[in-house]
């Protein structure tokens, strides 16, 4: 499995000739090195409805004739734009053919903010994803605070790689993310959702050192960086 981190919370997983992308947000991300038109994917998975997670969902899905996988409310919103969708909700699993994606809970909020109209469109519950493919299990926590059931998730799944937000302010900060990493028990942890904006500035290398102090393995990925994930990842 090839993993590409596109910055912020955008992660792409490729299995053979098949690919999915999670939370595409590129044009509004000053740190991104990839343009939306450069993304080739069959599925676009959305953890929740905030603009820094769905910002480029429409162009990526449209140019690839890709299917958007999102909560019932957000999937309907995307369908109204003429996109193909698969509805999902917390606890549900969708079979993508080359991978299975289960939506897990996240403690956050979810809505599309229309500034000019001073309206907020409810986007359904926020979530994360557990993706299984090629005998590997990848967790994308979405935007979330720390919550106790992370330990239950870690007990139930043998997680090879976990993407955890560390930016604080809107999500967990580094200290809570270290606790989340302990509970999830992932073999490798990659920090996301930091440094895109001033309010979420963090030192990711310090976070990785904090993980190491707990006997956990972390890796900082730069936007555009690729990682080959194999079953024997330690």
Report strand pairing: 119-122 vs 111-114.
antiparallel
Q: Cα dist. 220→37, 162, 203, 227 in Å?
A: 25, 12, 10, 11
Could you state, in order of their start, the residue ranges of all structural domains in the chain?
2-91+100-221
Per the CB < 8 A criterion, the answer to whether 213 and 69 are in contact is: no
SS3 98: coil
Q: Which residue in this structure is represented by tokens 């992308």?
A: 21
Residue 225 has pLDDT above 70, yes or no: yes
Per the CB < 8 A criterion, the answer to whether 166 and 213 are in contact is: no
Dump pLDDT digits (tens) for 125-147: 999 999 999 999 999 999 999 99
Instruction: Quote the distance between the C-alpha of residue 26 and its chain's center.
Output: 14
DSSP strand E in 66-205: where? 67-71, 84-88, 93-95, 100-105, 111-114, 119-122, 127-133, 136-140, 161-165, 188-192
Those residues with Cβ within 8 angstroms of residue 182's Cβ, 6 or more apart along the chain or in another chain: 214, 216
Share of residues in the chain with pLDDT > 90 (%) = 98
Per the CB < 8 A criterion, the answer to whether 88 and 69 are in contact is: yes
pTM of the model as a whole:
0.97
Dump pLDDT digits (tens) for 179-211: 999 999 999 999 999 999 999 999 999 999 999
Dump pLDDT digits (tens) for 165-180: 999 999 999 999 999 9
Q: Which residue in this structure is represented by tokens 């992370």?
A: 150
Share of residues in the chain with pLDDT > 70 (%) = 99
Residue 234 has pLDDT above 70, yes or no: no
pLDDT of 176: 98
> What does 127-158 look like in DSSP terms, one character per residue?
EEEEEEETTEEEEE--S----THHHHHHHH--
| Mean predicted confidence (pLDDT) in 49-78 | 98
CATH number of 2-91+100-221: 3.60.15.10
Which is nearest to 123 in space by CA: 71, 51, 81, 168? 71
Dump pLDDT digits (tens) for 83-125: 999 999 999 999 999 999 999 999 999 999 999 999 999 999 9
Six token digits for residue 230: 């194999």
Spatial distance between the Cα atoms of 187 and 191, rounded to a whole number of angstroms: 13
Residue 233 has pLDDT above 60, yes or no: no
């Amino acid at each position: 499995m090839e993993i590409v981190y596109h910055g912020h919370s955008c992660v792409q997983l490729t299995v053979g000739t098949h690919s999915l992308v999670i939370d595409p947000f590129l044009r509004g991300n000053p740190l991104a090195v990839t343009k939306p038109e450069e993304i080739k994917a069959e599925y676009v998975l959305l953890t929740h409805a905030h603009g820094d997670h769905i910002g480029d969902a429409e162009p990526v899905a449209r140019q690839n004739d890709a299917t958007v996988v999102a909560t019932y409310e957000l999937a309907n919103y995307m369908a109204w734009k003429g996109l193909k969708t698969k509805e999902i909700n917390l606890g549900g699993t969708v079979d993508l053919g080359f991978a299975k994606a289960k939506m897990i809970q996240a403690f956050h909020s979810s809505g599309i903010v229309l500034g000019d109209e001073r309206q907020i469109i409810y986007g359904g519950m926020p979530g994360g994803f557990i993706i299984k493919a090629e005998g590997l299990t990848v967790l994308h926590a979405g935007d979330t605070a720390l919550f106790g059931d992370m330990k239950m998730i870690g007990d139930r799944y043998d997680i090879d790689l976990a993407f955890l937000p560390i930016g604080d302010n809107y999500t967990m900060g580094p200290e809570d993310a270290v606790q989340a990493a302990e509970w999830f028990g992932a073999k490798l942890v990659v920090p996301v959702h930091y440094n895109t904006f001033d309010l979420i500035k963090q030192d990711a290398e310090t976070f990785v050192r904090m993980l190491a102090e707990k006997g956990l393995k972390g890796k900082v990925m730069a936007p555009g960086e690729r990682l080959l994930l194999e079953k024997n990842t330690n």
